Chain A
Amino acid sequence: MKKYWCFLKIGFQVSAAYPASIYFRVIRHSLLVLLFVLLWTALFKIKPEIGGFGLASITTYYILVEIIDIIYTQTPARMLNRDIKTGDLSNYLLKPLDYWKYLLFYTVGQQLSNSSLSILAALVVFIFFPGFVILPSSLIYFVGFFVFSFIAFLISHQILFIVGTWSFYVSEITHIRQGINQLMGLLGGRWIPLSFFPPLAISVLEQLPFTYLFNFPLKIFQQQVSVGQMGRALFVGIIWLTSFLIIGNITWKKGVEKYEAYGF
């Protein structure tokens, strides 16, 4: 297990070695939040409530969406695709390590580095613009938010790992990867709150695993769910995660059987 913690450290160091990327990530996320807030401020001048949201709640929504989006990354699919295309995967198959665990720890390390400054920037917003954000009044919702964000990270990581395993069959998956990522965001409430969709669409979308990526953690933060609903959702979320882990294991094993190393 110690070796995987080393990969976490390496992922952190590789990302931190190029700080300009981290600074630009902060700028990008801050710009997105600012532009969303400006747009919605203008819209709410015309009508105080749209789609069940007021100005403070929609601002909170988009700030949190950016914070949660910071923790997601396409690294699992990107790295697996690269390692398969170049034949570097053979290195990892020959070594006494689990590639999935290596990828997970490396990704976590990388995201810790990438996200640190962005999360600090978000905290500054919470502290200096209290009128724009609504914080939960109870600790259980804070804890629930962090627990579900962690589950969301694992679900996202696993989905993208499965997408990465498609590289065993289709050598170029860049657009597939980006497409799935966009789809997860769309169906998860990244771009617009799910409450803006028609009621039938909402009832379908809330049954899918993507709701755990943005929609449900945000509902917890905004105290729009009860503790009982959180408990049930936790159970369902774990089932989804377990399902994706099983699927990932199957696609990985089948892929490795088919794998031919290039570049050797």
Chain B
Amino acid sequence: MNRYIRVLYKCLQLSWMKVMEYRVNFITWTIVDIGWILMDFVFISALISNIKMIGNWNQAQVIIGLGTFRLLVFPVWGWMFQSFNYLPKSISEGKLDMYLTKPLDAQFLVSFREFSFSIFPSIVGGLGFIVLGISQLEYLPNIIQLIFFVGITIVSIFLIYGIYFSTMTLVLYTDRLNNIANIFTSLYDASRFPKEIYGIFLQRIFTSIIPIALIVVIPAEALFLKPNWLIWVWMLMLAITFNLVGRYLWTEGLKRYSSASS
């Protein structure tokens, strides 16, 4: 376990060094991230100035949902997308051998290969939106709700990783699939709205088979709704299931992998 923590720390260090090596790149993406935060705010403001409710969320709740969405952008775009983006190219060029021949779990090495620090404004923006939304609520969340919010957000990150990694393993079963890292991020963009906007059938799909309707909504609702233990347990079960499925697809897919360079 210590070895994994040390390697993780090293990967973080190397990512930071790379970011500082190409500072213009870093600054540009930081500006882009700030731009996205502003655009989110403009879009939501335009929407809620026209309609008072989205699904069964009022304006304050929509802003909290947006804040949670922005907060989770950090693990999705700052960690998972950065690492997973290399996987299709590694496989097509045979560079996956470098991970498979190391005395560490290859899934760990592939999943924590790189991080981006230019997504940091999203954390600030996300927290800002959450505070803004809470200030417009009729009540303040108590400490228990805040603890549950943190806990369910961690479960949500675990679930996001399971779904994202499972989709990425498809690259082991097909020919070159360079754009697969964008499939999940496209789905993620749609997760910021309450599940009630979908019909009953699609709600079932988006809360089970492709649970994008849970990953942002449930953590956000922990701040302004009563605890719903059933949905939280369901989310934890989904997180475990998707991670197990991803692991299975990964190990089975590696059996099909043949290096391109050796």
Contact = CB atoms under 8 A, between A and B. Distances in A.
Interface string A153-192: 0000000000000000011111110110011001000011
B177 A38 contact: no
Contacts of B28: 175-176, 179
A5 to B, nearest CB: 25
A182 B35 contact: yes
Contact of A51 (B50, B179, B182): B50
Interface stretch (B51-59, B95-103, B247-255): B51-59
A39 B186 contact: no
Contacts of A25: 179
Given A21-B177, A38-B197, A192 B25 contact: no
B137 interface: no
Decide if the interface of chain B is mainly helix, strand, loop or mixed. helix
B189 to A, nearest CB: 8
Interface size class of chain B, counting residues whose CB lies under 8 Å from the partner chain? 35 or more
Interface stretch (B38-46, B140-148, B235-243): B38-46
Nearest to A50: B50
Interface in B69-106: none
Nearest to B171: A20
Given A19-B175, A20-B176, A172-B25, 5 more contacts: A17-B175, A25-B179, A38-B202, A39-B190, A175-B32
A178 B177 contact: no
A126 to B, nearest CB: 21
Given A20-B176, A174-B25, A175-B28, A183 B54 contact: no
Interface in A20-55: 20-21, 24-25, 27-28, 31-32, 35-36, 38-39, 42-43, 46-47, 50-51
Interface of A: 17-21, 24-25, 27-28, 31-32, 35-36, 38-39, 42-43, 46-47, 50-51, 170-176, 178-179, 182-183, 186, 191-192, 196-197
Interface string B164-196: 000000000011111110110011011001001
Would you list the 8 A-B pairs with minimal beta carbon distance, nearest first? A42-B197, A175-B29, A172-B22, A179-B32, A35-B190, A20-B174, A18-B176, A175-B25
A43 B193 CA distance: 11
B26 interface: yes
Contact of A182 (B32, B43, B50): B32
Contact of B22 (A170, A182, A192): A170
A46 B194 CA distance: 15
B24 A176 contact: yes
Nearest to A46: B51
Interface of B: 21-22, 24-26, 28-29, 31-32, 35-36, 39, 42-43, 46-47, 50-55, 118, 174-180, 182-183, 186-187, 189-190, 193, 196-198, 202
A132 B70 CA distance: 31
Given A18-B177, A38-B198, A178-B29, A28 B42 contact: no
B22 A196 contact: no
A173 B177 contact: no
Given A20-B174, A42-B198, A50-B51, A186 B186 contact: no
Contact of A170 (B24, B35, B178): B24
19 contacts: A21-B179, A24-B177, A25-B179, A35-B186, A35-B189, A39-B193, A42-B197, A43-B47, A51-B50, A175-B22, A175-B29, A175-B32, A176-B25, A176-B28, A178-B29, A186-B39, A192-B43, A196-B42, A197-B42
B51 A43 contact: yes
A172 B28 CA distance: 12
A176 B24 CA distance: 8
Contacts of A35: 186-187, 189-190
B53 A46 contact: yes
A172 B21 CA distance: 9
Nearest to B196: A42
A24 B179 contact: yes
B182 A179 contact: no
A17 B193 CA distance: 38
Contacts of B186: 28, 31-32, 35
A165 to B, nearest CB: 14
B179 A175 contact: no
B118 A175 contact: yes
B26 A175 contact: yes
B32 A170 contact: no
Contacts of A32: 186, 189-190
